[in-house]
Structure 1
Amino acid sequence: MLGAVETRSVSPVFVGRAAELDILNTALARAAAGSGEPQALLVGGEAGVGKTRLVEEFATAAAGRGAVVALGGCVEIGADGLPFAPFSTALRRLRRELPARLAAAAAGQEEELARLLPELGPAAPETRRDEHGMARLFALTARLLERVAAEHTVVLALEDLHWADASTRHLLAYLFRTLRTGRLVVLATYRSDDIHRRHPLRPLLAELDRLRTVHRVELGRFNREEAGRQLAGILAREPEPDHVDEIFERSDGNAFFIEELAAASPEGCRSGLTDTLRDLLLVRVESLPESAQQVVRCVAEGGSTVEHRLLAAVARLAEDDLLGALRSTVNAGILTPAPDRDGYRFRHSLVREAVSDDLLPGERSRLNRRYAEALEADPTPVPADERVTRLASYWYHAHDAAKALPAVLDASVEARRRHAYSEQLGLLERAMELWDAVPDAVRAVLRPVAYTEAYPPPPPQRRGTPPGAPRSGDPEAAGAVPLHYLDLLAEAAVAGRLCGERERAMKIIKRALRVLDEEPDPLRAAWFWVQRSRLTQSLARGDGWSELGTAQDLVRGLPPSEVHAEVLASAANWSMLHEPGPEAMAAAERAVEYARMVGAHDIELNARLTLGGLKVDAGDIDAGLAEMYEVKDRATELGVDPVVGRSHINLPSALEGIGRSQEAAALLREGLRVTRELGLLDSEGWVWGNLAETLHSLGHWDEAAEAA
C-alpha cells in the first residue's frame, strides 16, 4: 500500500561516485566476459556516506545488462545473530529469479543446502562428531553459486557486514578464497567507522587485504560541489550559496546528514537544531504525531525488519490508526516498506540506532516482552528460519530469565543444526549467564542437549529431544534426567572448538573440571580431559599426554562406554604418533572392542585405522594394510566423513613408509577428489602434503613442487 510513497529528503540525482561506480562496472564486465571470472569487492565507508545508494545504482545498471542481482542484508539483532541471514536472503532471491537453474545446481545436495535455504526442503539430520559439517556446507555453497553463474551473470551483494554473524563472515571469506569459475560478482559493504580495534570484522578485513583477488573500495565524503548538487536534487531547485555552505559545514560532506539537514530546514530556516548527532537524527521523529512516534519506537526494538502483523500486535493500535501512523513515518522518510516481505524497516540504520538509544530501559524491556508474547501467540508472520532466534532475543532483552533460558537453548540447537557454531557458542554462553537466575522448577523441565561428541548421554528415552521442549508427565517419571549445568559447558566446549574459538573452549573446559571437583562424575570428567588434551595440542601448549593420562585413570575399572572407548582411541592415536609400541597396540585393540560393544561405529573405525597403522609399524605389514583398506571402504559405506578423510592420509602414509609410492600416489589422488567433494579442508591439506612427498620419492619433481 505504501510502496509508492516517495520521500522528499532523498535526492533523485545520483551525485559523484563516478570512479567507484566504474570499478564496480569493470568488475561486472570481467565476470560476464567469456566463461566468467568471479570478482570479489569490499565497499567500506562511514555510516551515511552513501554505500547503499552506490549498491542500488550498480544493481540497477547490472540488471539492465542482463545480470541477476541477489541482495542480502546482515541483520542487527543483538548478540544472538541470525546465522547466514544475508546469504539466506540472497539465495531466496536467486531462487525467485532463476528457479530451474538453482534447483539443478542444488540437485542431490538439497538436504545440506537447506541449512542456508530452508525452501529447498528438510535439512539433513545431524550426524554426531561431524567436525567438518561447516566446511562441507561452505564447499557446497561455493559449488552452487558457480553452477548457477555458469550461464547467467550473478551479482551477490551483502550489505552491512559490520553486523554479520561469525558464520556469515567465515562463509564470505571462504567464497572470496575459493571461487574460481562462473560469471559471479560478490560484493559486500561495511561501516568503516564501526570497525574498532576489537570489532570481529577487523581480522577478516586484514586477512582479505592480503588476497590479490579482493578489491577494496573506500567511499569518502562529498566535497562542497557534490554536496550542493545533492542539496539541489533534494530541493528541486538551486540552493542559495550560503545555504550550501552551512549544510556542507554542518554535515561535513556526509550524504545522509545532508539529507537530514535539508529536511530539517526546508525553507532555509536554520535555527533551533542542536549540533549533536542524536538530536539531528531524532528531530524529524519528534515532529511526527504521537501514534507515529509510538510505531517508530516499536520498529526500532523489533529488529532490522518488522513484519506488519507482528508490529500490529505490538503497537496495539486500531488498524486505521496504525496505517495512518505508518503513512506518516514513510512520508517523513523515516520508515520504508521492506522490499522482500510484508513489513517495515528504517530507511537508514543510524535513525534506528538513535531511536533505540533514546528509549528508557523499562520501555525497551516492555517492548521486547510484547514482541516475545506476540511471536509466541502467532509465529506465522516471521520467516520460519528466524523464529527461534528472534524469540530468544526478545525474551532475553525483556529480562525474563525463566522465559529466556528455554528460548536461548532452542536457538542454540537451531544454530548447531545450521553448522553456525560461533552463534551456538554465543547462545550457550548466554544460557550459562541466565542459569542461576532461573528457578529450579524451570530448569527441571529442560531437556539435555543431544551432543555431537561422545559425551555421556541421558537415558535412551530422552536422547535427541531438543532443549527447552516441554516435557509431558511428571518430571520424576520414567527416570527423566533434567538438564545439568555441565551439559551446557560440554556443548559449549565442542562448539568453541568447532568454530575455532579454542581459548574460549579451554576456559569453559577448565570451569567444567572445577565443577567436577565438587561433584565427582568420572565419565564426564574423563570426557572433559580428552577435550582438554585436544585443545592443549592445537594451542601448542603441550603434547596433551598428561591430560589423556588423567582421563585413562578416571575410566580405569569402569564398565565399557562410549567415553571409555574414546579415551582409549585417543590414547592409542597419540601413542602411534609419539611412542608406538605394545602399549599403544593394546589400547587400540581395547578401544575397538569397547566401541563395538556400545555401537560407536565412528570411534571403532578410528581406532581400527590407528591399529592398522601400529601393525604396519610393528612389521605386520599385510595385516595392517588390510585393516586400513577395510576401514577406508567401511567408512565410505557408512558415510563417516572424518574417518574417510583420515584414511586417505594415514593409509598412503603407511604405503609410502614401506616404499610402495605408486600405490600411495594413486590413493592420494583419489583422496584429493574425495576430500574436496566432502568439504574436508584440513584433510585435503594433509593429502596435498603427503602427495608432494610421494611424488618427490618417485622423482616427479615438477608435480611434487606444484603439490607442495
Structure 2
Amino acid sequence: MAARQTEFAGREAERRVLAAVINAAEAGRPGGVFVRGEAGVGKTCLVRVVCDKATSNGAEILWARCMRFGAADAPYVALIGGLEGWLEAAEPSERADVLAAVPATSELLPSLGGHPERSMVRLMPVVDGLIQAIASLRPVVLVVDDVQWADSATRDALTYLVAGFRSQRLAILATYRDEELAPGDPLHVWLADLVRLPSVSTLRLDRMSPNETEGQVTLLLGGRSEPHLLAEVTRLADGNPYLSELLVHGLTAADEELPTDLPDELTDALLAAWHRLSVPSREVMRLLAIGGRPATADVLVEVAATRGIAFDVVTAALVESTQNGICVASDAETCWFRHPLLAEVLEASFVPGEAVPVHAAWAATLEHRMGTGVEELRRVGDLARHYEGAHDPAASLEVSLRAVDLAKGLKALSEEAVHLRRALRLWPAEETDGELDLLDRLATVNWLADDGDEALAAMTRSLELVDEHRDPLRASWILRCVAESEYTTGRRAEGEDVEAVRRALELATPYPDSPQYAQALADLSGTYFWVDEMEAARQYADEAIEAAHRAGSHRALMRGYTVAAYAYQFEDRAGHDSVEAMRHARLFGDPRGVWGAGWARKVWLNWHGRLSEAIPDDVAALSEALDAGATNVAALYFGDLARIRLVIGQHAEAEQEIRQGLALARVPYSAANVRLAAALLATRQGDLAAARLHRRRAYELIPDLETRPSQMAPPTLAEILIAEGRPADALDLLARTMEVQIVDPRIADEMLVLSARSAADLAEHARDLRDLHRVSHARQLLDSVDELRRKLLPPPFATLTAENLIQPAFKTLYVAETARCWAQPNTSELWEEATHRCASAGLRWDEAIARYRWAQALLHERAGKAAVAVPLRTAYKLTDELGAGPHRHLVEELAALARISLSEPDVAAIDLPAAFRSLTHREREVLSHLVVNRTYAEIARALFISEKTVSVHVSNLLRKTGATSSRELAAVAQRIKIPIEPA
C-alpha cells in the first residue's frame, strides 16, 4: 500500500520563497504569502513541509482550515480552530501567560465558553491579540488553508493582521484555489488589496514537472515505480500532485500499471477513489455531498432512511470512507470529505433530476430540527437551498424570507443579503410591489454591511420596475437612492445628481406632507451645498425641515436637519441642527444616518476649534454601528476617527483605526476615506511605497477623488507629493482643486498652508542651485494660489469664535512658510509664534514641523546653541512620539550640524539615596539637565528661568550633596544612576 506522504518532492524554488518569509518573521520582519493554484496542485502539502521545518526550528504553527459551510458563515471558524489547537497543545505556563495577556479570549474560543457569533467585529482585536501574545513567546506561522472558503470575519481578521505588520515575529501563509474564483467574486478585490501591501505577495504553484512527479510517486509507493506505471501517472495526472496521489492510492512499487477503470482527468480520478468504496458507501457519500457542508451522523442517518438506507449501512459507510481517506471526522459527531472537491464532483455526478429527491430528503430532515441563534439561521439557510434544489420554489421562497428575518434579528446583515438574493431569484415576476420591497431591503443591507455595487444594482433594477404614474412616491424614493448609490460608488461626481433629484422632487411635489417630498428637498439642499451654492442650499434645507415636521417622519427629519447643519455651518444653529439630526437618526434606527449627522456636527465643531470633542461622539456611534452589524458604517467611523487623530497628532491611535477600517470597508466612498488616512500616516512614517499603494487604490475606488469636497483628498495627496520631493506637482494639484474645496473653507485654508510649504520647498531648492528664475517662478505660483484663495469666501483663516485656535494656527504657518519662500531674514519669531499656536490648538504634527523650522531659523540667524536646542529637542521628542521617521531624521541632521545633543534626562520617581533625598522638585529638574551636560543657558531656556536662578539651584545642589563642582555632581549622579523625577 502507498504510505501517507511524509516527504516532499520538488518545489525547491517555492520552498525557498516560503522559508525566506518565515526566516524574516523570526527576525522581526513579518510578512505574508498567498499560495495560489488549482485544486490538488499541492499548496497545502508545500506549506506543511515548510512549516514542519519551521517547527523543528522552534516556531509555533497555527493551522486554520477553512471549510465551505453554505449561506451562514460561522465567524472566525478557521482561526478559532487553529487557536483551539494551540490552546490544547500549549504548555500550561505558556497558556496561562497568553490567556492573562488577552482576557477577552474567553469570549472567542468555544472551549472557554466563547460565542464568537455574538460580537464578530468586536472580537477582531482579540484574534489579533492572541496571535501577537503567542508570537511574543516564539515565532508564529499562521496557516490559513483554502481561504477561498473563509468566512467574512476570518477575511476581515486577516486584513487586520496584515495591516498591523510592524516588527512581530509572525508569518502568514494562506492557500486558495484560483481557478474556482469566478469573475466578479469579492475575493478578487480582497486579495488584490492585500497583495498591494509591500509585506504581502502571492506565489503561483504550477503543475509539477515530469521529474518532480517521478519523485512524488517514488515517495508514495515506497520505492521506484515501474516505468510504464510512472508514464501513465505522468500522463493522466499532468503534473497535478493530488491527482497523482489519488491515482496511485492502494498501489505498491511492485505494481506495473494503473487499474483500467481509473479516469484520465481530475474529476475522474476523484470518482475513482470513491468507486473503490462499496455500493452502499458510495451512495451514502453522494447523500452527504448533496448536504453541502459537514453534517452530524444522526442527520445523515435520517436523510439516508428516507432513501431506504438503514442505520447500520450508514455507520459502515462512514467507517469505510474514513479508512479509505475519503471522509474525515472534524469532531466526535461531524463528518465531511477529506478533499472537499470530491463533494462537488459527487454532486455534479447526478444527472438532471436525479438530485431532486435527495434535496427533498435533506429538506424533510432539516425541517423539524429546530436550533437557536446562528445554528438556526444556518439550518434555515440550508433548508431554503434544499427546497430550491427539490424544485419547490414556493417553499424555498417562504423559508428564504424566514431566513431573512432571522438574519436581521441576529444582526447578520451579510447573511440577510444572501437570503434576500435567493428570495429575489424565486420571486414571482408578476408581483412587482413585493419585488420592489425586497430590492429596497437588499440595497439597504448592502449599504450597511456588504457590497455597494450590489446596492446600486438593486436600486437600478427597482428603477426599471417602478411605475412613476402608479406609484410616484416610490419612484421619487428610488430616483434619490440611485443618485446616492452612483455617488458613493464613484460613478457620479458631487453636484451631478441635480437633475435626478429635481425629478424626484417633481414626482413628490403633489404630496407635500409626505416623507418622500421632505427627503427630496433635503437631497436638493445637499446637492447645492456641495457645489457651494449656499443660498439655495439653505432655502431647500429650511423647506425640507418644515415638510419633515408635517410628515412626522424621523427619517425625513434626520435628513432635513443634517443638510441644514451643512448649509448653516457658519451659524450657531448648525450645532442645534446636527444634534437634532442625530436624535432623529437614532429614533429611526439608521446607523448610516447617525454617521451623516455626526459628520455635520464635526464640521460645526471644527469651526469652533473643538474638533477633538468629536472623538468620544464618534467612538460611541461606532460602538452602536458594530452592535447593529453595520460594518460599512463602522468603516466610515474608523476612517473619520483616523483622520481626526492625524490632524491632532495621535498617530498610534490612528494606525489602529486604519487597520480596522481597511478590514471592514466595502463601499468605495468609505474605503477611499480609509485609504487616504492610511496613505497620510504611511507618508509621515516614511513608508512612501505603502503611501503610493493606498493612494492608487483610493483613485481606483473614486476616480474623481481630487474634486470631491466630501473626501477632503487634496491636502493628503499634496502632503504625499511633497514627501516624494514633488512640490511643483503638489502646488499644481492644490491650485487646480482650491475652488472646488471652498465648500469647506477649513480644508481650503489647509491647502493654502501646503501651497506655501510646496512653494517654499521649490524656492529653497532653486536657491541651492542658484537658479533665480525658478525662485521667481515659485513665488509667482504661490502668489497665484494666494490670489485665488482670497477671491473665495469666507476670507482665508476666518474664525467664528475666539475659541477656534486651529485657523489662527494655520495662518501663522502660512505666514512663516511664505516668509521661507521669499527668503525673508529673521523668521525665527514667525516660526516661534507658529509653534506656540499649533501647540495651543493641539496640532502636534504641525507643531513638530514648526519647531524644526524655528530651530533652523535660529541657527541661520546665528543664535546660541542653548536657544536652538530648546525647539529642536522638543521637535525630536514629538517626532519620536508620532513615529515620524523622515521628520525625525531631519531633526537629527540639524542637531548634528549645530552640534547639539538631543538626549533627554533619564527621569524616574523612586526613592533617592540619602545624600539626594532633600532635593526639591526644581533642584531635581536642574540636576536632570546637568546629567546630560547642558549649560546654564540651556537649562534656563528649557525651564523658563534665569541663568542666575539656575546658578542658585546648582549652589544648593552642591551644598546638599557635598559635591565640589557641577561637573562632579553630574558625574556622581550619572555613575550611581540617580533617577530624577520628571518636571
TM-score (norm 1): 0.74
Name the structure 2 match of 1:10.
Answer: 4
Q: CA deviation at 1:665?
A: 5.7
Query: Is the CA contact (8 Å cut-off) linking 2:105 and 2:130 kept in structure 1?
Result: no
Q: CA deviation at 1:262?
A: 0.8
Between 1:325-334 and 1:372-381, the stretch displaced more is 372-381
Cα 1:92–1:589 shift into 2, 3 Å:
farther
Query: Is the CA contact (8 Å cut-off) linking 1:149 and 1:182 kept in structure 2?
Result: no
**Equivalent position SS for 1:362:** coil
Among candidates 380, 384, 391, match of residue 388 of structure 1: 380
Between 1:389-398 and 1:195-204, the stretch displaced more is 195-204
Name the structure 2 match of 1:608.
Answer: 561
Among candidates 217, 226, 243, match of residue 257 of structure 1: 243
Q: CA deviation at 1:233?
A: 3.5
Between 1:195-204 and 1:529-538, the stretch displaced more is 195-204
Structure 2 counterparts to residues 444-455 of structure 1, below 5 A = none
Structure 2 counterparts to residues 619-638 of structure 1, below 5 A = 621-625=571-575, 627-628=577-578
Q: CA deviation at 1:419?
A: 6.6
Q: Which residue type is aligned with residue 558 of structure 1? A: Y
Q: CA deviation at 1:298?
A: 0.9
Q: CA deviation at 1:179?
A: 5.7
Whether 1:404 aligns to 2:396 is yes
Cα 1:175–1:361 shift into 2, 3 Å:
farther
Question: Partners of 2:8 and 2:128 in 1: how far apart?
Answer: 32
Between 1:350-359 and 1:231-240, the stretch displaced more is 231-240
Q: CA deviation at 1:412?
A: 3.6
Name the structure 1 match of 2:423.
Answer: 431
Q: CA deviation at 1:609?
A: 4.0
Name the structure 2 match of 1:284.
Answer: 273
Question: Partners of 2:215 and 2:168 in 1: how far apart?
Answer: 39
Between 1:373-382 and 1:570-579, the stretch displaced more is 373-382
Whether 1:146 aligns to 2:146 is no
Post-superposition Cα deviations, 1:259-285, rounded to whole Å, max 9, x if no partner, equal 122126553333524424433322232
Between 1:276-285 and 1:355-364, the stretch displaced more is 276-285
Question: Partners of 2:53 and 2:212 in 1: how far apart?
Answer: 22
Question: Partners of 1:593 and 1:262 in 2: how far apart?
Answer: 79
Q: CA deviation at 1:257?
A: 1.4
Cα 1:355–1:632 shift into 2, 3 Å:
closer
Question: Partners of 1:212 and 1:401 in 2: how far apart?
Answer: 48
Q: CA deviation at 1:212?
A: 0.8
Q: Which residue type is aligned with residue 292 of structure 1? A: S
Structure 2 counterparts to residues 495-644 of structure 1, below 5 A = 495-498=445-448, 501-502=451-452, 504-517=454-467, 520-538=470-488, 539-541=490-492, 543-556=496-509, 558=511, 560=513, 562-578=515-531, 580-581=533-534, 583-592=536-545, 604-617=557-570, 621-625=571-575, 627-628=577-578, 642=592
Question: Partners of 1:596 and 1:96 in 2: how far apart?
Answer: 58
Whether 1:120 aligns to 2:120 is no
Cα 1:389–1:638 shift into 2, 3 Å:
closer
Cα 1:33–1:554 shift into 2, 3 Å:
same
Between 1:354-363 and 1:601-610, the stretch displaced more is 601-610
Cα 1:582–1:246 shift into 2, 3 Å:
closer
Q: Which residue type is aligned with residue 145 of structure 1? A: V
Name the structure 1 match of 2:258.
Answer: 270
Query: Is the CA contact (8 Å cut-off) linking 1:42 and 1:189 kept in structure 2?
Result: yes
Q: CA RMSD in A?
A: 4.5
Q: CA deviation at 1:76?
A: 6.1
Whether 1:91 aligns to 2:48 is no
Cα 1:93–1:565 shift into 2, 3 Å:
farther
Between 1:291-300 and 1:538-547, the stretch displaced more is 538-547
Question: Partners of 1:570 and 1:327 in 2: how far apart?
Answer: 65
Whether 1:306 aligns to 2:295 is yes
Question: Partners of 1:402 and 1:684 in 2: how far apart?
Answer: 47
Q: Which residue type is aligned with residue 75 of structure 1? A: R
Q: Which residue type is aligned with residue 475 of structure 2? A: A
Name the structure 1 match of 2:437.
Answer: 487
Post-superposition Cα deviations, 1:66-86, rounded to whole Å, max 9, x if no partner, equal 736251414164xxx434x47
Name the structure 1 match of 2:72.
Answer: 82
Question: Partners of 1:414 and 1:172 in 2: how far apart?
Answer: 27
Q: CA deviation at 1:436?
A: 1.7
Query: Is the CA contact (8 Å cut-off) linking 2:557 and 2:584 kept in structure 1?
Result: no
Query: Is the CA contact (8 Å cut-off) linking 1:169 and 1:201 kept in structure 2?
Result: no
**Equivalent position SS for 2:202:** strand
Cα 1:108–1:102 shift into 2, 3 Å:
closer
Q: Which residue type is aligned with residue 11 of structure 1? A: Q
Between 1:47-56 and 1:168-177, the stretch displaced more is 168-177
Structure 2 counterparts to residues 118-517 of structure 1, below 5 A = 119-120=114-115, 123=118, 140-153=122-135, 156-163=142-149, 172-173=158-159, 175-177=161-163, 184-195=170-181, 199-263=185-249, 265-266=251-252, 267-270=255-258, 272=260, 273-316=262-305, 317-338=309-330, 340=331, 342-379=333-370, 383-384=375-376, 386-414=378-406, 424-436=416-428, 484-498=434-448, 501-502=451-452, 504-517=454-467
Query: Is the CA contact (8 Å cut-off) linking 1:150 and 1:181 kept in structure 2?
Result: no
Cα 1:48–1:121 shift into 2, 3 Å:
closer
Among candidates 25, 36, 60, match of residue 67 of structure 1: 60
Q: CA deviation at 1:206?
A: 3.6
Q: CA deviation at 1:159?
A: 2.7
Post-superposition Cα deviations, 1:395-446, rounded to whole Å, max 9, x if no partner, equal 22222101100222233445556776565445323212211289x9xx9xxx
Cα 1:613–1:278 shift into 2, 3 Å:
closer
Question: Partners of 2:276 and 2:77 in 1: how far apart?
Answer: 37
Q: CA deviation at 1:49?
A: 1.6
Q: CA deviation at 1:643?
A: 5.8
Q: CA deviation at 1:29?
A: 5.7
Mark the runs of 5 or more structure 2 residues left unpaired by the alignment.
88-94, 624-633, 645-676, 678-711, 717-746, 754-809, 818-843, 850-883, 887-983
Cα 1:570–1:157 shift into 2, 3 Å:
farther
Q: Which residue type is aligned with residue 360 of structure 1? A: V
Cα 1:413–1:17 shift into 2, 3 Å:
farther
Post-superposition Cα deviations, 1:430-488, rounded to whole Å, max 9, x if no partner, equal 212211289x9xx9xxxxxxxxxxxxxxxxxxxxxxxxxxxxxxxxxxxxxxx822211
**Equivalent position SS for 1:217:** strand
Query: Is the CA contact (8 Å cut-off) linking 1:247 and 1:261 kept in structure 2?
Result: yes
Query: Is the CA contact (8 Å cut-off) linking 2:400 and 2:422 kept in structure 1?
Result: yes
Between 1:288-297 and 1:519-528, the stretch displaced more is 519-528
Query: Is the CA contact (8 Å cut-off) linking 1:493 and 1:508 kept in structure 2?
Result: yes
Which one has a larger percent helix, Structure 1 or Structure 2? 2
Cα 1:24–1:122 shift into 2, 3 Å:
closer
Question: Partners of 1:328 and 1:545 in 2: how far apart?
Answer: 68
**Equivalent position SS for 1:333:** coil
Question: Partners of 1:637 and 1:551 in 2: how far apart?
Answer: 25
Cα 1:44–1:500 shift into 2, 3 Å:
same
Question: Partners of 1:75 and 1:510 in 2: how far apart?
Answer: 31
Q: Which residue type is aligned with residue 115 of structure 2? A: L
**Equivalent position SS for 2:218:** helix
Cα 1:416–1:375 shift into 2, 3 Å:
same
Question: Partners of 1:274 and 1:630 in 2: how far apart?
Answer: 70
Cα 1:588–1:159 shift into 2, 3 Å:
same
Q: Which residue type is aligned with residue 280 of structure 1? A: A
Q: Which residue type is aligned with residue 540 of structure 1? A: R
Q: CA deviation at 1:302?
A: 1.3
**Equivalent position SS for 2:7:** coil
